[in-house]
Amino acid sequence: MEKEETENKLINERKNAREELCELLSEIEENICNEAEARQGYYELMEKIEDPDDIDIIAEIISDELNHAELMKEMARRYSGIDIAKD
């Protein structure tokens, strides 16, 4: 009976760890989506602005947002252990 209890405890611990990992990955993916939404807003703003200096500022902000998304994607790959498909 003790062996079975130990096995059940290990199974539950693994399940909990998977659930926590999935929750973390979900939050990371949500942040990646938020970065995309922010970029979309900046692109729309860029269409309305005529001053080249202001357009450059917005382009720099977009570049930062792209970098943030890439960093979040790398984090998701590290935590999930899943590499990008090459096909």
User: What residue segments make up the domains of the chain, in order of their start?
Assistant: 2-79
Residues contacting residue 45 through CB under 8 Å, at least 6 positions apart: 58
Spatial distance between the Cα atoms of 50 and 67, rounded to a whole number of angstroms: 25
Q: DSSP string covering 7-51, please? A: HHHHHHHHHHHHHHHHHHHHHHHHHHHHHHHHHHHHHHHHHH---
Residue 2 has pLDDT above 90, yes or no: no
To the nearest whole number, what is the mean pLDDT of the chain?
Answer: 92
pLDDT band for position 53 (cuts 50, 70, 90): very high
Q: Taking the model in full, what pTM does it have?
A: 0.76
